[in-house]
């Protein structure tokens, strides 16, 4: 049986579409058992708010300025590992669902979801009932990709975004030598002979979104 949430759940919304964020924040605030601590337009502002106000759940959009929602999920969990993350997006495809899950999100919803569906996802996340199935409709490439570690996936994700090794090293606070080691392991696990081929395999596997 699902546990009942007894204390008030504090929710932060991360979305750069102000009207949507304000509407969702209002809907959360009037729901019994929930408290909205407002909305912020980007990941860095979200991290600051998380450290200052300690929400229980963060509802985060995928498409955000500077740092996208997938990378945002990772960074927010570093800031506060107890957080529950619910990702919402206007591009709810299988590859993004897998990315969200592997980054650490508890739930993944389309922006067209109703308020009641979003609030239920928050409840499920708080109760530990939320789960994103990354093996659904998995093919051989997908299963190979799922053998990657979270750090290897992060490196691959940044490669797919066109980042070179020194830039990735700086972003992840790692040495260039360490990043090269991760890249080598990614190529081995995916059976790829180049970084471009590794990215292509990951896209076929549905582990990475199409280029945009």
Q: Is residue 210 part of a domain?
A: no
CATH number of the structural domain spanning residue 162: 1.10.10.10
Task: Choose the final residue of a domain: 81, 102, 127.
Answer: 127
Residue 143 predicted with pLDDT over 90: no
69-101 pLDDT, tens digit each: 988 998 999 899 999 999 998 876 777 787 788
- Residues 4-15 have pLDDT tens digits of 445 789 999 999
- Which residue's entry shows tokens 């530990």? 128
Helix 115-127 to helix 18-29 angle, to the nearest 10 degrees? 60
Q: pLDDT tens digit string along 23-54?
A: 899 989 998 899 999 999 999 999 999 999 99
In eight-state DSSP terms, residue 207 is S
Residue 166 and residue 196 in one domain = yes
Mean pLDDT over all residues of the chain?
Answer: 84
Query: Distance between CA atoms of 156 and 39, rounded to whole angstroms?
Result: 30
pLDDT surpassing 80 at residue 18 = yes
Kindly state the tokens that stand for 45: 């502002």
Which stretches within 7-114 are classed as H helix?
18-29, 43-53, 69-79, 94-103
What is the extent of the structural domain holding 18?
9-127
Are 81 and 23 in the same domain?
yes
Domain tally, the chain: 2
132, part of any domain: no
- Helix and strand counts by DSSP (H, E) for the chain: 10, 5
User: Rg for the chain (alpha carbons), in Å?
Assistant: 18
**What are the tens digits of pLDDT across the range 100-126?**
887 889 888 888 888 888 889 999 888
Q: Mark whether 118 and 14 lie in a shared domain.
A: yes
Instruction: Output the pLDDT for position 65.
Output: 87
Distance in angstroms (rounded) separating the CA atoms of residues 68 and 52: 22
Are residues 25 and 123 located together in one domain of the fold?
Answer: yes
Look at residue 21 and tell me if it is in a domain: yes
CA distance 35 to 29: 5
pTM greater than 0.85 (yes/no): no
Give the domain CATH number at 14.
3.40.50.2300
pLDDT digits 0-9 by tens, 157-184: 889 889 999 999 998 888 999 999 999 9
**33 belongs to a structural domain:** yes
Is residue 74 one of the residues assigned to a domain?
A: yes
Average pLDDT of 194-198?
91
Which of 127, 156, 188 terminates a domain? The answer is: 127
> Are 69 and 145 in the same domain?
no
DSSP for 61-72?
A: ESS-SSS-HHHH
The predicted structure's pLDDT at residue 3: 46
14 with 106, same domain: the answer is yes
Residue 4 in domain: no
Domain presence at residue 2: no
Same domain, 195 and 106: no
**Which one is predicted more confidently, 192 or 145?**
192
pLDDT at 16: 92
Report CA torsion sign: 23, 24, 26, 31: positive
Domain-ending residue, one of 71, 102, 127: 127
Same-domain status, 122 and 193: no
């Amino acid at each position: 049986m699902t546990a009942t949430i007894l204390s008030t759940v504090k929710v932060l919304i991360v979305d750069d579409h102000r009207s949507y964020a304000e509407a969702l924040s209002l809907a959360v605030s009037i729901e019994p058992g929930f408290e909205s601590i407002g909305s912020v337009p980007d990941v860095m502002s979200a991290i600051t708010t998380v450290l200052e106000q300690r929400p229980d759940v963060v509802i985060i959009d995928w498409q955000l300025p500077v740092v996208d929602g997938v990378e945002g999920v990772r960074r927010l969990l570093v800031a506060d590992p107890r957080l529950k993350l619910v990702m919402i997006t206007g591009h709810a495809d299988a590859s993004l669902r897998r990315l969200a899950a592997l980054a650490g999100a508890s739930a993944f919803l389309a922006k067209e979801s109703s308020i009641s569906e979003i609030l239920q996802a928050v409840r499920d996340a708080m109760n530990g009932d939320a789960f994103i199935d990354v093996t659904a409709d998995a093919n051989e490439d997908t299963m190979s990709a799922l053998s990657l570690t979270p750090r290897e996936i992060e490196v691959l994700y940044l490669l797919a975004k066109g980042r070179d090794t020194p830039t990735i090293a700086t972003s992840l606070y790692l040495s260039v030598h360490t990043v090269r080691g991760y890249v080598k392991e990614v190529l081995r696990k995916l059976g790829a002979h180049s970084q471009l081929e590794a990215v292509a395999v990951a896209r076929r596997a549905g582990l990475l979104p199409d280029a945009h």
